[in-house]
């Protein structure tokens, strides 16, 4: 059976798209895709659940560096799955078609590159890379190997973001001039202080393998289980959360990235040994692109927000605003049709003359029609329980079957990760960075 499935996957890789789509319909019930998850912590487990929920998709193996998570994987997904600490063992297996990579950020590029070279399709968690030059390399490997790589910022597959995109393109808020987006939290777990298991030790954790190319450091359970707090392994709040906001923004607007990046922030509250800020602000210049006008972007993450977790977008246009939260809301308050006046400080004669001229230009009866300008609000809500994460995995496995390209490929992934990583650089280097979104390179 594995041979049939493998044969199907390999033959579809070589046929034109239309033919591949037709062929997809002919897949027999036995043709399934076998995948493995590399990194089965919080997100790897979520990804595995969403992947397993897809038709014709089977989990056969997992890889992790903490034994407890390998044990847990068997408890949850069955004793039949194989487990390992070494992801290369999985890449050598002929019966594995695709891998989900949900390791800490410093391992993303290396494992994704090795996986594509080994002929696997890849679902790679965001941010695509920890360092910008690795992004360009990954793009080359994707191109050369012809593998599917989808980055795991799931809002790119969301029907909510799709609706926002359609509304924006249809001119629902006129011409875009500003976008504000934020991700605020106010809890220890929200600020990445994840639980450390009681059996964490150099015996149960493969510490040397975890470090990889990161600087040498003695075993530290905190660094292993709370890796986001350290620049050696993570990418700060910008790589963790700004990147989702860039992905959502680029999907909705069709923008490919900013030309100027400035970011500043600080460590204001979670002084637990971390070396990254817990409050970060970013401002960005987006140039005109296709039909999209130039606009500005303001991003914020605040892990000490004095309230509860919330995240959203506000697109501001010449005719209204479009907000994304759980759904999409378009609000409009028409502009006043008269300019009005501010003449109280003028001499009386000047006021009279001004009013004569004003009333001649804007003759109106009292009360001004403007006083009852209509306000409108339209809301679009997704069905209860809707999961963009399931849709994102559906899109990935659809691409694996049909060989049709995914939206969130390595170029899309780098165009989101690049400005997010530059935000960190801007904050730490205390300077503005110029970015070329076309070539995805730092200009100065």
Positions touching ligand NAD (CB under 6 A) are 38-44, 63-66, 69, 87, 102-105, 107, 125-126, 152-154, 209-210, 240
Question: What's the min distance (Å) between Cβ of 174 and ligand NAD?
Answer: 32
Sheet holding 295-302, edge to edge: 376-380, 328-332, 320-324, 310-317, 176-184, 295-302, 279-286, 260-266, 433-436, 441-442
CB closer to ligand NAD out of 227 and 286? 227
Q: Give 69 or 120: the residue with its C-beta nearer to ligand NAD.
A: 69
Nearest distance in Å: CB 56, ligand NAD: 23
Please identify, using beta-carbon distances, which residue of 211 and 368 lies nearer to ligand NAD.
211
Query: DSSP per residue over 220-286, as a string?
Result: -HHHHHTGGGSTTT--HHIIIIIHHHHHHHHHHH-----SEEEEEEE--S--SS--S-SEEEEEEEE
Would the CA dihedral through 248, 254, 255, 256 be positive or negative?
positive
**Residue 107 or 286 having the CB closest to ligand NAD:** 107
Look at strands 433-436 and 328-332 and give their pairing: unpaired
Helices 42-52 and 388-402: crossing angle in degrees, nearest 10, is 60
Instruction: Decide: 147 and 120 in contact? Cβ < 8 Å.
Output: yes
d(CA 135, CA 441) in angstroms, rounded, equals: 10
Nearest distance in Å: CB 95, ligand NAD: 19
Closest-by-Cβ residue to ligand NAD is 41
Q: Which two tokens stand for residue 119?
A: 């002929």
Q: Which is nearer to ligand NAD, 67 or 121 (CB)?
A: 67
Instruction: Decide the pairing of beta strands 320-324 and 328-332.
Output: antiparallel
Looking at residue 347, what DSSP letter applies?
-
Work out how close the CB of 331 gets to ligand NAD at its nearest, in angstroms, rounded to a whole number: 28
The CB density around residue 382, as the number of other CB atoms within 10 Å, is 15
21 CA to centre of own chain? 28
Place of tokens 């690049």: 418
Q: Least distance from C-beta 124 to ligand NAD, angstroms?
A: 9
Q: Are 414 and 140 in contact (CB under 8 A)?
A: no
Q: How far is the CB of 434 from ligand NAD (least distance, A)?
A: 26
Residue 90: CB minimum distance to ligand NAD, A: 10
User: DSSP letters along 57-114, please?
Assistant: EEEEEEE-SBHHHHHHHHHHH-TTSEEES-HHHHHH-TT--EEEE-S-GGGHHHHHHH
Nearer to ligand NAD, 48 or 402 (CB): 48
Structural Rg of the chain based on CA atoms = 26
Instruction: Give least dist CB 112 to ligand NAD, A.
Output: 11
Q: CB 19 → ligand NAD: shortest distance, Å?
A: 33
| Minimum distance, C-beta of residue 65 to ligand NAD, in the bound complex (Å) | 4
Cis peptide before 367 (omega within 30 of 0): yes
Nearer to ligand NAD by Cβ, of 150 and 321: the residue is: 150
The pair of structure tokens assigned to 411 is: 């170029």
Q: How far is the CB of 339 from ligand NAD (least distance, A)?
A: 47
């Amino acid at each position: 059976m594995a041979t049939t499935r493998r044969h199907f996957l390999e033959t579809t890789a070589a046929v034109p798209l239309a033919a591949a789509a037709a062929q997809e319909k002919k897949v027999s019930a036995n043709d399934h895709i076998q995948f493995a998850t590399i990194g089965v912590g919080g997100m790897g487990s979520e990804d595995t659940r969403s992947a397993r929920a897809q038709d014709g998709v089977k989990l056969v193996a997992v890889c992790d560096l903490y034994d407890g998570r390998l044990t847990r994987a068997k408890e949850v997904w069955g004793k039949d799955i194989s487990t390992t600490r070494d992801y290369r063992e999985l890449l050598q297996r002929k019966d594995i078609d695709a891998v989900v990579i949900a390791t800490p950020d410093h391992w993303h590029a290396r494992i994704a590159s090795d996986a594509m070279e080994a002929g696997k399709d890849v679902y790679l968690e965001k941010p695509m890379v920890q360092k910008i030059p690795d992004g360009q390399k990954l793009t080359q490997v994707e191109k050369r190997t012809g593998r599917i790589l989808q980055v795991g910022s799931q809002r790119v597959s969301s029907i909510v973001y799709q609706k926002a995109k359609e509304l924006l393109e249809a001119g629902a808020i006129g011409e875009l001039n500003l976008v504000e987006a934020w991700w605020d939290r106010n809890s220890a777990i929200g600020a990445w202080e994840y639980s450390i298991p009681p059996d964490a030790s150099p015996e149960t954790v493969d510490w040397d393998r975890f470090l990889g190319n990161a600087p040498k450091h003695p075993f530290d359970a905190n660094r292993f289980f709370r890796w986001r707090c350290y620049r050696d392994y993570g990418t700060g709040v910008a790589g963790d959360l700004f990147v989702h906001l860039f992905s959502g923004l680029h999907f909705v607007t069709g923008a490919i990235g900013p030309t100027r990046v400035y970011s500043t922030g600080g460590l204001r509250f979670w002084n637990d040994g971390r070396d990254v800020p817990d409050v970060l602000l970013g401002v960005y210049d987006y140039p005109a692109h296709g039909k999209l006008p130039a606009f500005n972007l303001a991003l914020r993450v605040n892990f000490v927000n004095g309230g509860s977790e919330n995240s959203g977008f506000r697109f501001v246009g010449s005719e209204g605003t479009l907000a994304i939260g759980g759904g999409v809301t378009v609000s409009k308050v028409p502009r006043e049709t008269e300019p009005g006046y501010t003449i109280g400080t003028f001499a009386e004669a000047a006021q009279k003359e001004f009013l004569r001229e004003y009333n001649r230009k804007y003759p109106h009866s009292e009360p001004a029609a403007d006083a009852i300008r209509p306000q409108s609000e339209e809301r679009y809500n997704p069905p209860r329980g809707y999961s963009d994460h399931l849709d994102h995995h559906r899109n990935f496995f659809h691409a694996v079957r049909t060989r049709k390209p995914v939206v969130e490929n390595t170029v899309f992934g780098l165009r989101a990760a690049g400005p997010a990583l530059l935000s960190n650089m801007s904050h730490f280097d205390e300077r503005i960075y110029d970015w070329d979104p076309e070539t995805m390179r730092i200009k100065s």
